[in-house]
Structure 1
Amino acid sequence: MRTMLRSILVTETFITATKARIGTNNDSAALTLMSTDIERIRMGFRQLHDIRASIIQVALCAWMLYRDLGVVFLAPIGLVIICFIGLAILMNFIGAAQRRWMSLVQKRVGLTATITSSMKGLKISGLPSSVGHFSQKLRVGELTAEFITPLSQIFQNIPKVISALACIGRIQAFMEREACDDFRQFSATFEKGNEKGSLGSILLDDAEVVIENGSFGWAQDKFILQEIDAKIPKASLTLVVGPVGSGKVTQRTRAPHVGFCDKSAFVLNESIKENIIGFSPVNEDRYNEVIKSTALVFDFDNLLQGDRTNLGSDGISLSGGQKQRISLARALYLQTNFLVLDDVFSGLDADTEDQVFRQVFRPEGLLRGRQTTVLLCTHSVQHLQVADYVIALEGGRVTEQGTFDSLMSGNGYVNRLELKGSSESETVSDGSSIQNIPNESSSPAGIVKAVKPTIAPDVDPSRQVGDGTVYKEYIKSMGWLLAGSAIFFSCLWGFFLNFSTISRSSAYWASFYALFQICALVSLVLLGACIWIVSIKRAGTNLHDDILKTLFRAPLSFFTGTDIGVTTNLFSQDLKLIDTELPDATVNTLFSITQVIGQMTVMITSAPHLAATLPFLAVLLYVLQNFYLRTSTQLRLLDVEAKSPLYTHFLDIVRGVTTLRAFGFIREDIQKNASLLTTSQRPSYLLLMIQEWLKVVLDIIVMLLAVGLTTFAVRIHSNTAFTGAALYSLLSFGENLAGIVLFWTKLETSLGAIARLKTFNETVKPEDMDAEDIHPATDWPRRGVVELKGVFAKYGTNDHDGTASSFALRDIQLTIDSGEKIAICGRTGSGKSSLVALLLKPLDPTIATAENIFPMKAVFLPAGSTVQKNLDIDEKATPEECKAVLECVGLWDYVEKLGGLAAGMHASSFSAGQRQLLSFGHALLRCSVRQRKYGANEQLGGILILDEVSSSVDRETEHVMQEAIRTEFKNYTVIAVSHRLDMIMDFDRVVVMDTGEIVEVGKPPVLAQEAGSRFRGLIRAGNK
């Protein structure tokens, strides 16, 4: 039943997540429901049959007591009823406490998934320390909420069922959320006719899509696009342009069933070829045509595994431009005659952009030959003159539409762009021609080689049975004193519970029985306090802190070769085992051991001849538990590990659900989820089977002991009273011996979670060496001088190839003076990101925090975190400073509409350009806080590193950012990686890179006029 229940809940949760409305889909909520909530439901329903059987047993026992003792039987029954009343009162708080705890688990697991997929941006931004503190704070709050009612675990079955019901309530609430409704009508479902208002009468012969008076938005009554009237001609290239936040994103996602590219390139944690083909039929000719058109052939030739290279979590092994081209290639490979593309050129250098545009979109390109209708939303307005049709958006409304020449003759948005006419655009530059794509012997710098997705060595210590170091690790995490106290109180429990059953006089028994029972209960309470309140909170906090530090110190190559599901599993499933199953197994094992010791004393006193059987029984049980653990430990680890691909797939689907809906791949992904679910169920089901086998074998052993004792007592005619006492003790003794084996094996199995965390901490080596980090003064750097002399660098320390081609950076000679503005340019994969990584050493939080870095991809906290928290994660700025920064970047009006700084935010409620502006605001806020700290009169310098600062913004917003850089960072040394060359023309110098080397340095205006200059070639490519 539990296996079927998990299958149903996981499948329905997945389907619901694929139907969620864009902007309301919470990745962390769905992931936590699929992992932690469903596992707690399984644990709760595991006890369901025990509760039913216990009720029957209690009823039978009550009847037997009444038959032999009369109404006296009401005394123990009354005590049981009082306990149930107390438990019922306690249950009123358990459900609410469980829901509150699970919501905190949800936030923490969601943050962990965000951290893993955005680690490169976090490291570059210098945020690991701040985000780590925030995650640890969530963990502490989660553990505090979990143990509000800890002693209710004494009644071990009913609370687990109540917990399961609370989790079912959370899943039900998730499934009842508003789904994405598609109100669109398609011409295939209608007969063309003359009926007024019908779709057939609206569509024109030359139009693929027609919108009449349409309003669209992410939430009800909050329209971003208003009163839209637009048409998209068939077999043509239509460009949608407009400022940041004007509604271009909403415009393109309302298109029909099409090939689609999001602005934030969506790639799966699979090979490049699998990403491009997806669930489409394999056609090698079409595939080769697509990768050639998107200029991916060069990149494949220089990857160790070519197009079979695994991309890692969120494509961390590739540059932003490479991910964009893979996303575009996937759309081009799809068998469709309609494409919707959202700013697919962001992150591409001018040279590569020109080549891709020419081979895909121009009249001689791939799509024109296929007669494909293309809707392209872009900030690369230099391509407007090639478009057949242009739609301009401002303020969520269509301000103008038509051909490029007709719009240029007007006074609207397109005319204000001051572009050349279409007749001028066909002029091909001479002299400084566009730099050709490097030959195949060249190697692109900055590509991290993907490795096998694993976190453990070939011989995994976590799979060893009976590893004493794992026990030591667990005890160390909770503290030796606390562990000793738990053992001491469990011994007291066993002593007081059994001491009173030793033969005594009636007067002695009557006077001390109550005292011993009270002492036993006090010992039980103290043991529960040690295990369920103090030790688990301490162990859970310490273990989470250890793996979080290991995660942040891991090199980028780890995230390239490790599935996000593997890492998320450590922070969800393994920590769940440590918080729930491990303490239960620990307490029950201690209970059983102390009970057996006490009952052994009673048995030997009552029937001394039984002592001869104890060594044989101990050997039998030892052999049995060894035989069982050899299989159960492996199955438990396989159970946990088999869920990692399921979680990886789920996170990928939730992140790219818009793309998958457009492609029509949702049905196939549901089938893939079912296949992964079936695979993950196998070890779980087998583990349940061998657990039942163990219970049956232990029951048989107890039965044989009882039969043997009865036979022996009858044969020797022993004292009936002592024989009865011995038989009763033997049955309890046998059950507790079986309990030792059962709970000890469960303890060993649950300790596999500790072993996995221990293996993770030991095998994931930090990139920095011992004593390598230098901790400069808090006001460093005050001047911002950068000097590189003869630097060679490469990714990974396991690559022993010392040839020049194995280095990502080769012989870098560069000196940057204080306050100088330097631009770094070059083709995608030329080494720009590698140079930034070299300057930062991304894993070093000290340098990244001291400098001010603006990464290409903005990083946000889980949904529900406030705008102020996302802007000021360090919590060092005042609300006034946050507001001033938002006003500076032009986002305050939008944030104010959302509810102000205290409003909860979801990253999807901001456009890509707005997210980039918010990230830029974070850099401005750091500068403001730093200046306030040392005084307004102090002329502080520093280093500002900008990685594609304007890749997703329009030209007007780009000018705003340029002005902010000139004014707010006037004393800073600025190092900017940029593909938009018009932004850097006023910089002091430009550094042009190619295949990991600096090939040209000079002043931008001078190089732009110099014949044969690489920089001039890039400019001409961008102006085409």
Structure 2
Amino acid sequence: MSSVGPCLNDDSLGPAVRGCRGNFDFTVAFEDVVFVIVPAIAFICLGFLRISKLCRCHRPIVGPSAFQWTKLLVLIILGRNSSQFASGRSLAAASLAFIASLLLVPLSWIEHSRAPRPSTTIAAYLSVTLLFDVARTRTALLLTSSDLETDYVSVITAATVLKAVMTYLESRQKDKWLDWDIKQHSPEETSGIWNLGVFFWLNTLFMKGYRVILTLESLYPLDKALEAETHHHLVERVRNNPYKGQKYGLARLLLRILALQLLPPIFPRAALLTASICQPFLIHALLHYLQSEDQDQNHGYGLIGATALTYGAIAFSTALYWYFQERFVIMVRGILVLAVYEKTTELRMPADGDSGALTLMSTDVERITRGVLDLHEYWANTIQIALSCWLLQRELGAAFAASLGVVAVSTLTAFGIGKLLGPRQKEWMEAIETRVGVTAAAIAQMKLVKMSGMTEPIQSYVQRLRVREIEIGGRWRMLLAAAATVSQVPMTLSPVITFAVATKTLNTTSIFVSISYLTLLASPLMILFQKIPQFLGALTCLQRVQTYLERDPRFEYRHLDNGMVSAASVTSSSPSVAGMSGMGFEMKTLEKKGAPHVVIENGSFGWHENVAVLKHVNITIPSSRLTAVVGPVASGKSTLCKAILGEVPFSTGSTVVPRSRVVGYCDQQPFLTNTTIRNNIIGSNHFDDKRYTSIINATMLDQDLTNLPQGDSTMIGSSGIALSGGQRQRVAIARALYLVDADLLIFDDVLSGLDARTTDHVFRHVFGRDGLLRRRGATVILCTHNLRHFQAADHAIRISSTGDVFGEKPTGEDARPNSDLGFDSEVASTEALGSTEEPARSHSSPTVAMTAEEAEARKLGDTSVFGYYIRTIGLIPIIAFVFACVCNGFLNNFPRIWLTFWADDAARPQRGLVQMHTQAYYIGIYAMLQILALVSFMAAVVLVLGPFIRLSGLVLHQRALETVINAPLQLLTTPDTGTITNYFSQDITIIDNELPMAVANVVLDIFGVIGMEVLIASSSPWLGLTYPAMILILWLIQRFYLRTSRQLRLLDLEAKSPLYTHFLDTSRGIATIHPVFLPIGSTFMENLDPLGLATIEQCREVLQAMDLWNMVEAQGGLDGVLSESSLSQGQRQVFNIARAVLKRKTTGSSVLLLDEFTSSVDADTERDMLAMIDREFAGCTIVMVAHRLHIVSEFCDRVLVLDHGRIVEAGDPRTLARVDETWFASLLAAVG
């Protein structure tokens, strides 16, 4: 057989030659078409598209350099290589190659100038064709028969060497020539395809993680192409979805707008598919070579090279494929989270609590990203299945149809299960949403929860929601277990049925080649069947996001009038302007003082349809004046404020306001974020020291800041939990004052929680005749119960108990405590002592220094965690699970040995021996082993998705909940509410979903690997000697890798906490009426009697005594749902007293704690509350915090006077009041 020269089939596509060149070469036609023409055409098309895109870039980011000229020189030399044309086909191949080389020159130049990373198009083309050129060079060498052909071989060899040099040059990073600050960019942005494919750019990070503890600051900057700002235009397209209202409209839109981002993973996935298809051919060639008596050494070397290329290609293409796919997933996550957030800011204030945004942002988006991560697997695996069927038919003939029957039945079953998964998952997601929303609300109000004695009821309520969630999720997980089991059916049963119906005599080669084809067929089916539930779940979650994004935004029922006289539009040169400008204010006053600023005609406003809180509203609020809003408890003062802001969902009539740029608003419950006092005040505005100082002095915060070690840099905790109630209100007032461009400011009873001296100071310096707002010329609306504030107002709005609104000017007749106007009594000037408010606790930083043990555990993990998790499950489920995994490991590997027995026995007649057993014998036992393997797998999965999640999920959630509920309040002020909420949202979801499946996969794989090792050692004992070395290498790799990967995983989880906090703060800022009882969705009965000890009659009697029964009855009675809009702030305080009274009746509790329990009620309501307490708690110990000293004098037996956290005086209040020198007497004197 000739080893050189042309072959008879060189003009065919082969691909392999026959009868020449040792039967170990490609045909010339195959090389011309596949190695030259196809890559050249692909490169030319992509190259022109790439040039067109780069030409649209604004400016070059890399200047000319010697490196760029070197690349061009090599390209020009490469393009000049000539070739010998033996045919028209070779001429076409050479022509296309020459055109491609010419295109390389301008493409390389523009890529170098305008792209930060080396050209992926050029590097991929050069790398692939370099391998092809090596094969073509060998072919040319074997075809050499003359000096001219020898010259040609020399030329093509030199061209190949030049291409290797060019490949290296085009893959080099351009860091040193980039026109940007490299520290602000990730090395990922400048990495080429080879750097990305082997993740070489991560080496520095891995080394750093191995040595030190990683923080977010030590990570690379995020690739600019992945930042949310880059995709803001895509977010706008998502929010303006053209498929609005259509099923899966959001999914269709995402595919449309991210189509270009879906293209990069296609090429490495196609390469992975090709390499995977090559495996059975490689196995066939290896078996044929090993069984051949005439073993050619070149074939052996070729098989070694083919093995290296095949599995090297699998590794490289897998890495590159998942890199591009993860980038696509990151973009999807960023777009959806930003779209949900922006939608949240546009929604109207809900009458009920709405935790949907938080759950969508966390759980739903996470499930969407997991579902779309495998998007390219569906088409790739479908192609692989089709090719596998063709290969199987070639090997087994018509018997392959039996495997198709198994595939068809499994597919139909999988899709049937998939149709059931969607509704089950939606129900489960809603249960998670309810629990997370309830938990977040409870955590945000933990201080009130603890003080009100509601810890046990709320803990029980949240745990019941957790039980319900697990029960609902359990139905979804059992369907998931069924889908996972079905995914194993093609792998386990297809070989059995296929071999059973095969008529062809089976031998070792046919059996194991068929097994490789069946594996090639079953593997993608297993992936598809396991991924389809995730994909369908992602569609369900996308539909939930779409439904949220399509919710009606806040309806702007107000008429924004540009022509209305506004304090922000008319300037004046009055003397007050100069005085204020010296304090850093840009002064704007009205030319026409008292002109209409807000006009409401025939207005009615309410929180529920057809239920108006305010009726027949006809008022005019004058510009640049102080307007006081007065009225009894629950009359609708807060609703009027929200109506002017445009936040009330149901309204009629006409509301006209000026088109102001900024409106300042302070709610009864201050909206504060977990940052410093200064940041809460200035927000996103520019810091002006003079303005800031004047506001701090006017709000009397200067004294508080003096007492804090870090002053205004003190962290205040989530919702300002580290501050006292009065301090929180004053910080909120200061923030409103800092909005210098605000010409309309609304304050909803913000002074009710302050003592007399503080109230007087703040009112005079902020609202008074010479206050900041008067000199600014702003229009101010102040809801108040204070008589003095009413007297100082320029204009008044009176709201009756029936919701009727009247505008009027305060008169002398009104200047007295009047139940119709809802005035309260005077508040004690406790700040005559300086400040008796609870001092703010200093919070330097939420970051706590790690101990050496904690740092090491962060890098290496804590093995005690595994024991902790196992103990929550119990011994019996663990033993059953391990037994199932051991059985599965044995039953997945022993059938291969059984097939060897079968093949050896089938070969006995060829050696003149009698076959020991029939084919039915071997098929029967083989079928039994495969079925038992399937059963053991199903048992392991059912145990993990059933008892594991149910037992560990309930126990771990209960313990976490108890820890938070029972934690000292000081501990809860350090982390954000988002951090704690993250434990109950993301971390619990991981425990429910990812952890159990990871446990199942790891344990099943461990015993599977052990079975494979035994199998390999039984056939080749010498290979068993390599096991210790391989185990040592794997241990060293994982030890180096896990030190960094563990930290990155922890940072990934922790970095989402600020996002949770931001979502919670935003929701709280939009709807600032917080839940203070049991969470949203509970009834009046459950809130009134959280322990469930009282009868309906007792509940009704207490509510009637507190004058709340009519209100409760109008909302459905005791079984009616208590929403955020059910009670006003004052009614909430009355309801709390009613609950305390009922608890006294049912439990006989003898201690009552009260903290400013009358701060938001009028004088009559206060008297009724005190009378009820006096009557029902006779003989009990009562501890109360009070600023209204008449309550102390008339009601208390003993008083403790505090100054800056110290008790300075104690005694009988009536005795102390008669002694002028006492602290208490001086407080009473300050009241007047």
Compute the TM-score of the two structures, normalised by the length of structure 1.
Answer: 0.73
Q: 1:995 aligns with which of 1189, 1204, 1221?
A: 1204
Residues in 2 aligned to 1:263 and 1:415: alpha-carbon distance in whole angstroms: 19
Q: 1:295–1:243: structure 2 CA closer, same or farther, 3 Å change rule?
A: same
Whether the 8 Å contact between 1:302 and 1:444 is mirrored in structure 2 is no
Q: 2:938 maps to which residue?
A: 525
1:920 aligns to 2:1129 (yes or no): no
After superposition, the Cα gap between the structure-2 partners of 1:995 and 1:610, relative to the gap in structure 1 and judged at 3 Å, is closer
Q: Which runs of 5+ in 1 are unaligned?
A: 193-202, 421-428, 661-856, 932-940
2:718 corresponding residue in structure 1: 313
Q: Which moved more, 1:505-514 or 1:93-102?
A: 505-514
Report the Cα distance in structure 1 between the residues aligned to 2:442 and 2:891, rounded to whole angstroms.
50
Q: Deviation per CA, 1:595-630, whole angstroms, max 9, x where unpaired?
A: 222233333344445434444443343333333323
| Residues 905 and 415 of structure 1: CA distance in aligned 2, closer, same or farther (over 3 Å) | closer
The one of 4, 29, 33 equivalent to 2:356 is 29
Q: Which residue of 2 aligns with 1:198?
A: none
Q: Does 1:457 align with 2:850?
A: yes
**Where does residue 481 of structure 1 map in the other structure?**
876
Aligned partners of 2:836, 2:630: CA distance in 1, in Å? 35
Give me the whole-angstrom Cα distance separating, in 2, the residues matched to 1:311 and 1:411. 37
Structure 2 vs 1, CA of residues 386 and 402 (structure 1 numbering), >3 Å: closer, same or farther?
same
- Aligned: 1:224 with 2:432: no
Query: Cα deviation per residue 1:978-1009 (whole Å; 9 max; x = unaligned)?
Result: 12234444214352332334444555566556
**Residues 1:178 and 2:552 aligned together:** yes
Asked if structure 1 preserves the Cα contact closer than 8 Å seen for 2:724 and 2:838, the reply is no
User: What do residues 774-808 of structure 1 show as CA deviations (whole Å, max 9, x unaligned)?
Assistant: xxxxxxxxxxxxxxxxxxxxxxxxxxxxxxxxxxx
- Matches for 1:362-377 after TM superposition, within 5 Å: 362-377=768-783
> Does structure 1 retain, via aligned residues, the 8 Å contact 2:877–2:943?
yes
Normalised by the size of structure 2, how large is the TM-score? 0.61
* Shift in alpha-carbon separation, 1:417–1:609, aligned structure 2, 3 A: closer
> For 1:22-70, what per-residue CA distance to the aligned partner results, in whole angstroms no more than 9, with x for missing partners?
1346443221111111111112222332333222211211122233334
Q: In 2, Cα distance between the equivalents of 1:500 and 1:411?
A: 93
**Alpha-carbon separation, structure 2, partners of 1:895 and 1:105:** 29
Q: Select 1:381's aligned residue among 779, 784, 787.
A: 787
Matched with 1:68 is 395
CA distance in 2 between partners of 1:281 and 1:522 (Å): 67
User: Structure 2: which 5+ runs fail to align?
Assistant: 1-327, 488-529, 567-591, 646-661, 903-918
CA deviation map 1:927-951 (0-9, x unaligned): 12125xxxxxxxxx72222111111
1:794-813 mapped onto 2 (5 Å cutoff): none
Match of 2:242 in 1: none
Q: Confirm or deny that 1:504 pairs with 2:909.
A: no
Contact 1:452 1:562 in 2 (8 A): no
Q: 1:884 to 1:57 in 2, by over 3 A?
A: farther
For residue 807 of structure 2, give the secondary structure of its aligned residue in structure 1.
Answer: strand
Q: Distance in 1 between matches of 2:923 and 2:1032?
A: 39
**For the aligned residues, what is the CA RMSD?**
2.9
Of residues 322, 334, 344, the one that matches 1:17 is 344
Q: 3-state DSSP class of the match of 2:360?
A: helix
CA drift of 1:654 comes to 0.8
For residues 848 and 865 of structure 2, what CA distance do their matches in structure 1 show? 18
Distance in 2, Cα, partners of 1:15 & 1:865: 29
Match of 1:294 in 2: 699
**Matched ranges for 1:591-990 at <5 A:** 591-657=1004-1070, 859-930=1076-1147, 942-989=1150-1197
Q: 1:394 to 1:533 in 2, by over 3 A?
A: same
Q: 1:392 aligns with which of 791, 794, 798?
A: 798
The answer to whether the 8 A contact 1:324-1:346 is kept is: no
Amino acid at match of 2:712: D
Assess if the C-alpha contact under 8 Å between 1:477 and 1:543 holds in 2. Answer: yes
2:627 maps to a residue whose letter is T
What does residue range 88-99 of structure 1 map to in structure 2 within 5 Å? Answer: 88-99=415-426
**1:323 shift after superposition:** 0.6
User: SS where residue 1090 of structure 2 aligns?
Assistant: coil
Q: Which residue identity does 1:42 align to in structure 2? A: T
- Residue number among 244, 262, 266 corresponding to 2:667 in the alignment: 262
Instruction: Measure how far apart 1:1022 and its partner are.
Output: 4.4
The letter for the 2-side match of 1:309 is T
What one-letter code is carried by the residue in structure 2 that aligns with 1:504?
A: F
Please list the CA deviations of residues 404-444 of structure 1 after superposition, one character each: whole Å capped at 9, or x if unmatched: 21653999866796999xxxxxxxx9xxx9677556xx997
Change (3 A) 1:1014 1:94: same
Matching residue within 164, 169, 173 for 2:543: 169
- Mapped to 2, the partners of 1:957 and 1:128 lie a distance apart of 27
- Aligned AA (2:798): A
Whichever residue aligns with residue 258 of structure 1, its letter is: V
SS at match of 1:500: helix
Given residue 996 of structure 1, which amino acid in structure 2 is its aligned partner?
G
> What residue number does 1:329 align with?
734
Residue 685 of structure 2 aligns to a residue in which SS? coil
More deviation, 615-624/112-121: 615-624
1:11 corresponds to which letter in structure 2?
Answer: L
Matched letter for residue 266 of structure 1:
F
Q: 1:185 aligns to what SS in structure 2?
A: strand
CA contact (8 A) 1:450 1:557 kept: no
Which amino acid in 1 is paired with 2:840? I
Please give the residue correspondences for 1:570-585 in structure 2 after superposition, counting only pairs within 5 Å: 570-585=983-998
Equivalent residue number for residue 576 of structure 2:
none
Quote the residue 1:775 is aligned against.
none
**Match of 1:770?**
none
**Following the alignment from structure 2 to structure 1, what is the Cα–Cα distance between the partners of residues 449 and 678?**
28
Cα distance, 1:1013 vs structure 2:
4.9
Q: For the Cα contact (< 8 Å) 1:451–1:560, is it kept in 2? A: no
Give the aligned partner of residue 642 of structure 2. Answer: 253
Determine if the alignment matches structure 1 residue 108 to structure 2 residue 435. Answer: yes
Check whether the contact 2:669–2:1072 (CA below 8 A) recurs between aligned residues: no
1:125-158 Cα distance to aligned partner (Å, 9 max, x none): 2222232222222222222221214313514211
Cα distance, 1:393–1:990 mapped onto 2, change above 3 Å: farther
SS in 2 for 1:208: strand
Q: CA deviation at 1:634?
A: 1.4
Cα drift, residue 91 of structure 1 = 2.1
1:966 CA displacement:
2.1
What is the match of residue 152 of structure 1? 482
Structure 1 residues 300 and 342: alpha-carbon distance in aligned structure 2, compared to 1, 3 A threshold: same
For 1:402 and 1:395, locate their aligned partners in 2 and report how far apart those are by CA, in whole Å: 17
The residue type equivalent to 1:332 in the other structure is: L
CA distance in 2, matches of 1:435, 1:542: 48
Q: Which residue of 1 aligns with 2:1002?
A: 589
Identity %: 40
Taking structure 1 as reference, are residues 1002 and 542 closer, same or farther at Cα in structure 2, changes over 3 Å only? Answer: closer
Do the aligned partners of 2:787 and 2:817 also contact (CA within 8 Å) in 1? no
Task: Tell me: CA distance 1:608–1:1000, structure 2 relative to 1, closer, same or farther (3 Å).
Answer: closer
Q: Secondary structure at the match of 1:255?
A: helix
| TM-aligned CA deviation for residue 122 of structure 1 | 1.9
Q: How many residues align?
A: 795
d(CA) in 2 for partners of 1:419 and 1:518? Answer: 83
Q: Secondary structure at the match of 1:219?
A: coil
Aligned to 1:133: 460
d(CA) in 2 for partners of 1:896 and 1:322? 37
- Report how far residue 173 of structure 1 moved: 2.3
Structure 1 contact 449–557 (Cα < 8 Å) conserved: no
Equivalence for 1:702? none
Of 758, 782, 786, which residue of structure 2 is paired with 1:352?
758
Most deviating of 16-25 and 79-88: 16-25
